[in-house]
Amino acid sequence: MTAEAAVALALVFLAGMSVGLQSALLGAIRMRRGVLGSTRISYAGTLAGGAAILAVQGGADRLHLLISAVAVGIALGLLIRGMPPAVAVVGLLGLFYITATGNGVTKLGVGVTVAAVVAGQMFASLLLDAGGALGMARRSMTLPRAAGAVLLVAGVALIRLG
Partner 1 sequence: MSVPPRPQGLPLLVGFVLLIGIASGLQQFLLGVLARGGGALRAAMLSASVSVALLAVLLLARAARRVRGRKLVAELALVAVLAAAAIGFILVGGLGHPWYLYAAGAFGLMVVGGLAYSVPRLGTGPAITLLVAGQMAVSLLLDQIGLLGLARMPLSPLRFLGALLLLSGVVLILRKEHA
CB of 84 to partner 1, least distance (A): 20
Q: Which is nearer to partner 1, 89 or 105 (CB)?
A: 105
Q: Which is nearer to partner 1, 86 or 161 (CB)?
A: 161
CB of 26 to partner 1, least distance (A): 8
What are the CA-CA distances from residue 12 to residues 4, 49, 85, 107, 152 (Å)? 12, 19, 27, 11, 14
CB of 47 to partner 1, least distance (A): 5
Give Cβ neighbours of residue 54 (< 8 Å, ≥ 6 apart).
Answer: 61, 65
CB of 124 to partner 1, least distance (A): 11
CB of 86 to partner 1, least distance (A): 20
